[in-house]
Amino acid sequence: MQSRGLLDLQVNGFAGVDFNATDLDADALDRALAAMLGTGVTTCLPTIITASAEDQARRLAALDRAVAESRFGPVMVPGYHLEGPFLNPADGYAGCHPPQVMTAPDADLVLRLEAGLSRPILLVTLAPELPGSEAAIGRLSGAGKIVAVGHSSADADTVAMAVEAGATMSTHLGNGVPQTLHKLDNTIFAQLAEERLHASFIADGIHLPRPALKAMLRAKGIERSILVSDAVSAAATRPGRYSFAGMEIEHGPDGSVRLPGSRYLAGSALTLDKAVGNIVRWGLGSPEEAIRMACDNPRSLLAPALRAHGLPVPPEGHVTWSADWEVLQVEHGGVAHRRK
C-alpha cells in the first residue's frame, strides 16, 4: 500500500536527539529528521515544553537555527508547537512538566518568543481554566495559531468557552490528567463530547489502554481524531537513559518513557508508523482510517495556520508500506529513503 507522508504535530525529540536542547545543531537535527523520514513522517512540528520564558527563548533559538541550517529542516518543519508554560500546575495535570515555572496564558509571551524566528509557532497547548485564557485564546487564534486544550482540568463549560474563543484541538487526550478523576464529570468526557474539537491520541498501548482508545475514537469520530507520537529523544532507540529538556528520562523495556523512579510518563518512544500499524492491528480502524488520522486530518487542521502565516504547504512525499504495516520506502524531495 502507498500513502502520502505522515504529519506529526507533537514531537519533542527523536533518535537520541532532544529538540529542547539549547546546544541543538543542524547535524543532530538532521540525524533525527532522517530517522523520522524512515518512519514515514515527512512533516512535523518540533515541540518545546514548559520552561521559564528565558529558557524557552534559548531553546527555540537553537531549534530554529538548527532547522534553518539543516538539510531536512526547511522541507520538513514549517513551524513549532509550544506545549506550556500555560498548563495546570496541579499534581497529575503537570505530568513531567516543571510546575514551578507554569504561568497564566499570555499571548504576548508567545509573540515575543516567536519574534526573530525564521518559522512561526503554529500550535499552542494550554489549560483554559487558567485566568486570562479566554482573551489569550482569542488573540492566539486570531494570530493564526492552532490553540489546543491540554494538561487541563477544564470542565464542560470551560471547554465550550475555549472553543468559542478559538480552540480547535485537544492535545494527547486522556493524558496529562491525574490517575483519579470523577468517574463521569471530568475533563476527558468534556473534551470528547465537544464536537468542535479535534483530538490527538498517543496510540502506543501505554498512554491509553486499547479499550479506552477504542471508545475515545468512537466518541470523537475518525474525522476529528489525529495520531501523534509525543516522541522524545528516546524514540527509535534502545532502552536506556536519555536527556529531555534538562531532565533525565528512562526508556524502559516495556517501551514506556518515564522520569526515573516516577510514575509519570515523560513523552513516548512511539514512532508514528507504529501508531498507524497499531490502529490496524488492534482492529480500531481500517488502513485507510489509520492513514487519515496520521496524514489527512493533521494536514487539514494545520492548513489554515499555514495560510494565516503566508507559508506554503510542505511537500507531502509518498510512503510505501509492507503488508504488515512496516515502512519500506519514503519518497520525499525527489529522493527515495529506504528504512534501514
Look up 230 and say whether it is catalytic. yes
Query: Cα dist. 305→124, 229, 289, 300 in Å?
Result: 12, 21, 24, 10
Length of the chain (residues): 340
Q: Are 167 and 158 in contact (CB under 8 A)?
A: no
* DSSP letters spanning 87-146: S--STTTSTTS-GGG-----HHHHHHHHTT-SS-EEEEEE-TTSTTHHHHHHHHHHTT-E
Q: Are 213 and 172 in contact (CB under 8 A)?
A: no
Annotated catalytic residue: which of 18, 30, 106, 230?
A: 230
Helix (H) or strand (E) holding 37, with range, is helix 26-37
Dihedral, CA atoms, 15, 62, 249, 252, nearest 10 degrees?
A: -10
CB 79 within 8 A of CB 122: yes
Residue type, 82: L
Question: Grid cell 527515495 — which residue?
Answer: 336
Written as one string, the DSSP assignment of 140-184 is HHHTT-EEEE-S----HHHHHHHHHHT--EESSTT-SS-S---SS
Q: How far apart are the first and last CA of the chain?
A: 19
Q: Which residues are catalytic?
A: 230
